[in-house]
Amino acid sequence: RLMGLGLAVFATAYFLLVVTTVLPWFRGGVETHYVSYLSQYGKTAGEVIETMLTRPGLLLGDLLTARTLLYALCVVLPLGFVPLLSPGRLAVGLPIFSLLCLNELTQGDVYPRHHFHAPLVPIVVWAAAAGLGSACRFCSRLRPREQAAADWMSHFVLTSALATGLLFSIGPSGRQFWDAGSDYYWRRLYIPGKRAEMFARIEGKIPLNSCVASTDFVHPRFTHHQRSYDYSDYPRAVNDNKPGAPPDTDYIVIDTQHRYSTIKRPDQVPEYRDHLADWELWPDTTEGYFIVLERNWEERGKTSE
């Protein structure tokens, strides 16, 4: 118990030190971007912690919601609620669980599919392993043979995992993977379609020594360029804490067909719409799948002068 308490105190102190001091020091005083996921509590890590401590009503109001209950069910239901039988071990994941409930980035999907949820998984499985022993001992009082009780509980957890996987998983064990009408249909996600064909028409034409701002899904394809910026509605430190393309951007690439795309036409790109002379629109060779804008540095220099 003393070792566990000491580890909890050390881990908390280490976390606060890294978030409030170490990471900002390496980033030249800029707050770690994780703080922006809790923007409802403040703009800095210190403000977020202070708000949570001094305004518990606001914190509890955000935690005690139907979405939190549904998320909790998604965490323990696949293991037949057995983790609840080891509350001490399950409580280890409570801080992570609470932050995930408050994280603005993960609130769009109530199911724990985001990679931010990954640290919680081993804790839940660990609690289930211990909880299974408690469940077996309880069932042995109802059944004459302890081994039969253990077999029954093990099968119960297994079938719970299989059933929830069948209904909710987006992998090969889930129905959505095989359903042609689903957004997670395997042919739609894993077989190169027309978007991939259209993207190949522009990818090689953008020089590797250029700075590229691109939307989600195609953004990773430009990580080997001089700079690769995520073009989105989120404010970025590299863009003076504003959304959009940073000042040194040479190219903007918009994927008009991805799931979260809100831009379908060139006149919907703010940089092109508001500063028409600064950008050159590439002729569309992708049948409207992609919009490519190239910075007109000469014209921008004349405007600055």
Nearest to 294 by CA among 272, 273, 268, 265: 272
Residues with Cβ within 8 Å of residue 222, at least 6 apart in sequence: 206, 212, 214, 228, 253
CA gap 90, 80 in Å, rounded: 14
Place of tokens 């600055």: 304
pTM over 0.95: no
pLDDT digits (tens, 9 = 90+) for 76-115: 999 999 999 999 999 999 988 998 888 877 766 667 777 8
Give me the chain's average pLDDT, please.
Answer: 86
| Residue type, position 275, single letter | H
142: pLDDT strictly greater than 90: no
The answer to whether residue 34 scores a pLDDT higher than 90 is no
Q: What is the DSSP string of 18-58?
A: IIIIIHHHHTTTPPPGGGGGGGGG-SSHHHHHHHHHH-HHH
What confidence tier does 186 reach under pLDDT thresholds 50, 70, 90? very high
Reported confidence tier of residue 26, pLDDT bands at 50, 70, 90: confident
The answer on pLDDT for 178 being more than 80 is yes
